Amino acid sequence: MITIDGHHLTLESIVAVVRHGEQVQLAAEARERLVQSHAWVRQMLAAGKPVYGINTGFGIFANRRISAGQAAQLSRNLILSHAVGTGAPLPAEVVRAAMLIRANTLAIGHSGVRPVLVETLLAMLNRGVTPEIPSQGSMGSSGDLAPLAHMGLVLTTDAADRAENSGWATYRGQRMRGKEAMQAAGIPRVVLGAKEGLAVTNGATFSAALLALATYDAAHWLDIAEIALSMSLEALLGASNAFDERVHRARRHPGQMAVAARVRELTRGSTLVDAGGRVQDAYSLRTAPQVQGAARDAWAFVADVIEREINAVTDNPLIFGPAEAISGGNFHGEPIAMAADFLGIAMSEVASISERRIFRLTDSNLNYGLPSMLVDTPAAAGLNSGLMMPQYTAASLVLENQTLASPDSARSLPTSGEQEDHNANAMTAARHTRDVIANTAHVLAIEAYTAARALDLRLRLMPEARMGCGTAEAHRRLREAVPYTPGDAWWAPEIARTREVLAFPEFAAAVLECPPQPDNPATR
């Protein structure tokens, strides 16, 4: 059971809940803060002083007063009028992550909502009610207004309680109206009070959910990038001097030093490295620590940003006491947007340099004695195309990444009659970054698949050679899942299977441990 208190949510706990079904509960101290904060909102309503979003309209209508008796209708109207998203539904894991993050930020106790609002979100997570949320339509600045409002359609209700106003949700694999899903799960929907509609929809929460999952996944694929690099380095008889610790310590970047150290460890014991007798290699090998290391440093920055964001108050106004409702801009998604763009650029570069190694592995003018396109034998060239087309696919994905990695945070349009005159475009940035990471994962799978075949052919030419500790383990595990095919075959399913193997955390863990494999002839 994971307990949320507004301050200690992690990427790992998000993944545990949204991918592995871990149950979640509200901390007792957080519940007490919610009770106190809501009491302050009631005092403000009784005092009659205008407070944005409590007894006023929203956005351009912030100067319009709303009576205390209309506070509940004001909240429900906000949900109904703002649920105007479009596009394909977001993946369930993204929606669940957003629900958890929203619950966590409300639990901090500066939003003025009742505990029942947070507890209902947690009940939906625990019982498997997942709202259907369109993926497009958020500016990522006044919060992810449209996506959060679509979530609110399922979460909340009013006196009329019309099913057609309850949105859509999935429960036990079935798509149904939100009202029906909540009834089937035995979860009462919430009739909103003052400030609660605004609290549900404020904050770039879906942007944060997308980036949180992307950041978690990127860490894994950065590990895989170093494994694929090491396999390519050995297959191409690369020079080890570019990975010398002294070289990287002299430049001082931690990511660069970490990548070089990882490659040294993975190739430990290899007789293929340096067998080419070259002074230096092409950039795709020689400067890989500088490129992939920069991506690691970018990841560390983004991870820090997103861990702060998922434990941040992103509402407006914030409630600090019975007469202290302070309007600000914590809902603005710029920190997420910039971080997402940065991670997208970094992972795009990881794919880019990986594709250059794939090209080098398949070109007989560049791969130091291996057959063109890695056909089984030179005599088979022509009848067989070898791995010509997988490199095409990698190149296509890299080109797509180069477009997707163009920064979305640099683009803005005004909304709400110029009241909201600068927007972050955060959710678009986070969606694009998620796509970049998926593309990068496939490019890395192609590199690992290509490098494994190149190593098979290299060891045929050099039967006395041996692979390094980690590369031998990676090769062995890949060959267990995808045996070597001499002639042309339908490569796509084999590459897809390679990607599945690489995606398992157990694969990276086993390879990075560098266990000896005495039964593998390549390590004798």
Q: What are the tens digits of pLDDT across the range 145-174?
A: 999 999 999 999 998 999 999 999 999 999
User: Would you state the pLDDT for residue 443?
Assistant: 98
Tokens 């000896």, residue? 516
Confidence of residue 520 (pLDDT cuts 50, 70, 90): very low
Q: Is the peptide bond before 254 cis (omega within 30 degrees of 0)?
A: no
The single residue of 52, 171, 216, 449 carrying the catalytic annotation is: 52
User: Is the pLDDT reported for residue 418 higher than 80?
Assistant: no
484 is catalytic: no
Mean pLDDT of 331-338: 95
Q: Given a cut of 80, is residue 62 above it in pLDDT?
A: no
Give me the DSSP letters along 93-157.
Answer: HHHHHHHHHHHHHHHTS-S---HHHHHHHHHHHHHTEEE--EEE---SBSBSHHHHHHHHHHHEE
Confidence at residue 71, expressed as pLDDT on a 0 to 100 scale: 76
CATH architecture of 210-414+423-523: Up-down Bundle (1.20)
- Asked if the model's pLDDT at residue 524 lies above 60, the reply is no
Q: What is the mean pLDDT of residues 294-322?
A: 96
Query: Pseudo-torsion of CA 11, 14, 16, 18, nearest 10°?
Result: -140
Q: What is the pLDDT of residue 515?
A: 58
Tell me the pLDDT band of 495, cut-offs 50, 70 and 90. very high
The answer to whether 2 and 23 are in contact (CB under 8 A) is: yes
Split at pLDDT 50, 70, 90, the class of 22 is very high
Q: Note the pLDDT tens digit of each residue in 340-362.
A: 999 999 999 999 999 999 999 99
Residue scoring higher pLDDT (68 or 193): 193
Average pLDDT over every residue of 37-55? 84
Split at pLDDT 50, 70, 90, the class of 212 is very high
The answer to whether domain 2-202 has CATH 1.10.275.10 is yes
Using DSSP, state whether 67 is helix, strand or coil: coil
Q: What is the pTM of this model?
A: 0.95
Taking 70 as the threshold, does the pLDDT of residue 135 lie above it?
yes
Domain extents in the chain: 2-202, 210-414+423-523
Cα first-last separation, the chain: 47
Residue 325: its H or E element? strand 324-326
What local confidence, expressed as pLDDT, does residue 50 receive?
A: 79
